[in-house]
Amino acid sequence: MSLDNARLAYPILVRVARELASAARDRRATIWMTYDDFCGQCKELGIKETPRTVMAKLLKPLQGFCLDNSMPDLTSLVIQKPKARADFGDLHRPSDGWWEAYITRGEIEAVNVPFWFKKYQTARDHPEWPDAPFF
C-alpha cells in the first residue's frame, strides 16, 4: 500500500461519513458502503484493488493511521455485502481483517458486532473530519 493511495482514498471515506451522519440526523435510510462499492470508487481515482485485497492493502494501513492518531476508525464505515438472516434483518459487519487491530490491541477478544457498531457510529458522527488527509 502506498501512502499516496491512502491519501487518495481518504476523501471517499470522509464523504461517506458525512453522508451517513446526515442520513442518521435526518432519519433517512442508510446507504451502506460495501467493499465492492468502495473498490469501484477507488478505481475511479486510479487505485486498483478488489474486495478481497482492499482491506489488507488499503484499509488496514488507513485504520492504523486513524488509531495511531487517536481518530475514529474510518474503515469501520465499509462493510461486507449484507447477509440475509432468518431471525431478523440483514447482518452488517466489516471483513474479518478489520477486527485484527482491535484484537491485537486487546480491546476485544473475538469478533464483536456491537463493538464494531460503536466504532461505526463514532466514525460516522465525528464532526471534525479534515477535508485533507491528516497523515
Tell me if 92 is assigned to some domain: yes
Determine the pLDDT at residue 85.
52
The pLDDT tens digits of the residues spanning 12-37 come to: 999 999 999 999 999 999 888 999 99
Question: What pLDDT is recorded for position 4?
Answer: 87
Domain span holding position 49 = 3-125
Higher pLDDT, 87 or 119: 119
End-to-end CA distance of the chain: 14
Q: Is 28 part of any domain?
A: yes
CA distance 4 to 7: 5
pLDDT of 83 higher than 90:
no
Whether 42 contacts 12, CB under 8 Å? yes
pLDDT tens, residue by residue, 88-124: 555 678 988 999 999 999 999 999 999 999 999 999 9
Evaluate whether residue 131 is within a structural domain. no
Task: Please indicate, yes or no, if residue 116 is contained in any of the structural domains.
Answer: yes
Round to whole Å and give the CA distance between 4 and 45.
11
SS3 83: strand
Q: Is residue 135 part of a domain?
A: no
Cell of 73: 476508525
Inside any domain, residue 32: yes
Q: What is the pLDDT of residue 90?
A: 54
pLDDT, tens digit, for every residue of 44-81? 999 999 998 999 899 999 999 999 999 999 999 999 87
The larger pLDDT score, comparing residue 102 to residue 86, is at 102
How many domains, the chain? Answer: 1
* Residue 66: burial class (beta carbons within 10 Å; 0-12, 13-18, 19+): buried
Cβ partners under 8 Å of residue 80, min gap 6: 34, 35, 93, 94, 95
Give the C-alpha separation, 38 to 13, whole Å.
Answer: 9
